[in-house]
Amino acid sequence: MRDLHLNRRALTGALALSLVAGRALAQAAKPADATLTGTPAAPVIIPAPLEPAGLLSKEVVELWPVGRVPGSAGVTATRQVLERGSPAAHDRAVMHVSRPILEVFRPEKPNGAAMVILPGGGYMRLAVDKEGAGGARRLVKAGITCFVLNYRLPVDGWADGYDAALQDVQRAVRLIRANAKTWGVDPARVGVMGFSAGGHLAAASLTRYDAKVYEPIDAADQLSARPDVVMVGYGVMTATPRPGIATVSAETAKPLNERVRKGLPPTFVVHAADDRTVQVTNSLTLFQALKIAEVPAELHVYQEGGHGFGFSLPAENPASRWPDAFEAWLRRLKFI
C-alpha cells in the first residue's frame, strides 16, 4: 500500500476541513516555527477516505506538520497494511509508518476524557484492530474520546531509534491538549494506554514524559506531555537491540521500572501469567516500583490469556473482563 501522502491539493483540502472555526487557511499553513509562541495550529485533517483499506476511522489527523517528522532524513519506509484476519473479524497489522497519524473515535455522549491508544506488535508492526480500534470502540461507550496512534517503528531506521515512538506519543498528548476544544475533551483528562510494545511505550510515556526527545516545532510543544492516567498491558520494561536496531543508547536501555519516581500519574497494569512472549515479571516489577514510590496503581494478573489478547478474548475467559475493571478504576479516579 502506498504511504499516506498529501500533495499540495490534498493538503489544501485537509486544512479546509479543519474543525477549528474561523481560522484562516493562511494562518494554518504558516511554517511551524512561526507559530511557536502563538496559538497552536489547527489539527490537519486528512480527507477521508484517503486510504480506505488502511484506515480504521473517518477522522484521521496528521501528528506532525508535513515535512517536519523528527529524524526522518534517509528513511524510506512506505506504509503497508497486512490483513491477518477476515472481512468479518479484521486483524490488521500496519507496518512501516512514515507519517504518524491519530485515528479519532468519538463517543455519542462524550464526558471530556481522552485516551491515546498504543497498539503493540514488537515495534515491527501495529496490531491496530485488537489492540487499537477494538479498544477505542469499547471505550467510546464509556464516553471516552479515543485516539489510536499509528506511531513510528524503530526498525525502519529512524535516527532516534526507540525514541522515535516516544516522540510520537509525547506529540500526541500535546496535540490533543492544544486542540482540546476541537475534540470536546478536558486537557486535564488525557490518558495513555498501550499493549506489548505499546505497553513499553505507555510505560515510557509514564516515566519519561518530561524527557526532551525532540525540538519544539509549534505552540503545542510548549504544553505538558504528562498523561493524567496510564494503562500498561503486558508491556516489556527493557528496550534491547534487535534486527533493524543495531544499538540502543544507555538512556533508552535503562529499564522503565527503574525510572519510576514519586508524583507519576495513576497507573493500571494488566498481564496474563501464562504469557510466553513478555514474562509477567515485567508487570510485577513495574507495580512494585510504583508502590514503593507511592504512585496510585492497580495490578491485574490473570492465570490464562497468553500474549496479545487486547480486547479480543472470548467471554468465557476471565481475562476478557479486564476492561470492566479498567473502567471501574477510571471511575474511582473520576477520570470518567
* Res. 137: pLDDT tops 90: yes
Find all residues with CB under 8 Å of 151, minimum gap 6, and list them.
Answer: 97, 100, 118, 126, 164, 165, 168, 169, 201
Confidence of residue 38 (pLDDT cuts 50, 70, 90): very low
- Biggest alpha carbon–alpha carbon distance for the chain: 57
- Percentage of the chain lying above the pLDDT 90 cut: 71
* Res. 56: pLDDT tops 90: no
The pLDDT of residue 47: 41
Q: How do the residues of the chain divide into helix, strand and coil, expressed in percent and rounded to 5?
A: 30, 15, 50
Confidence of residue 43 (pLDDT cuts 50, 70, 90): low
Instruction: For residue range 234-253, list pLDDT tens digits in order.
Output: 999 999 887 777 678 888 89
Q: Which of 153, 56, 35, 157 is nearest to 102 (CA)?
A: 56
- Percentage of the chain lying above the pLDDT 70 cut: 83
What is the Rg, in whole angstroms, of the alpha carbon atoms belonging to the chain? 19
Structural domain 51-332, CATH architecture: 3-Layer(aba) Sandwich (3.40)
What does pTM read for this prediction? 0.85
Q: Which residue has the higher pLDDT, 1 or 200?
A: 200
The pLDDT of residue 22: 29
Question: Helix (H, G, I), strand (E, B), or coil: what is residue 93?
Answer: strand
Segment 271-296 shows an average pLDDT of 98
Q: Which secondary structure element, helix H or strand E, spans residue 270, and what is its range?
A: strand 267-272
Segment 81-110 shows an average pLDDT of 89
Q: What is the DSSP letter of 1?
A: -
| Cell representation of residue 232 | 500498561
Average per-residue pLDDT for the chain: 85
* Res. 23: pLDDT tops 60: no
Q: Which secondary structure element, helix H or strand E, spans residue 299, and what is its range?
A: strand 297-302
| Cell representation of residue 132 | 487499537
Q: Which residue has the higher pLDDT, 82 or 120?
A: 120
- C-alpha span between 209 and 204 (Å, rounded): 7
Phi, psi of 243 (to 5 degrees): -55, 130
The pLDDT of residue 66: 84
Find all residues with CB under 8 Å of 162, minimum gap 6, and list them.
Answer: 123, 154, 204, 239, 245, 248, 252
Confidence of residue 223 (pLDDT cuts 50, 70, 90): very high
- DSSP lists the bridge partners of residue 104 as 59, 147
* Res. 179: pLDDT tops 50: yes
- C-alpha span between 154 and 95 (Å, rounded): 11
Amino acid at 123: Y
* Res. 107: pLDDT tops 80: yes
* Res. 197: pLDDT tops 60: yes
Confidence of residue 42 (pLDDT cuts 50, 70, 90): low
* Res. 3: pLDDT tops 80: no
Taking phi first (over 0 means left), then psi (-120 to 50 degrees means alpha), and beta for anything else, what does residue 171 get? alpha
Q: Which residue has the higher pLDDT, 124 or 2?
A: 124
- DSSP lists the bridge partners of residue 81 as 94
Q: How do the domains of the chain map onto residue ranges?
A: 51-332
- C-alpha span between 109 and 79 (Å, rounded): 33
Confidence of residue 15 (pLDDT cuts 50, 70, 90): very low
Of the listed ranges 35-39, 182-186, 199-203, the least confidently predicted one is 35-39
* Res. 258: pLDDT tops 60: yes
Q: How far apart are the first and last CA of the chain?
A: 38
Amino acid at 69: V
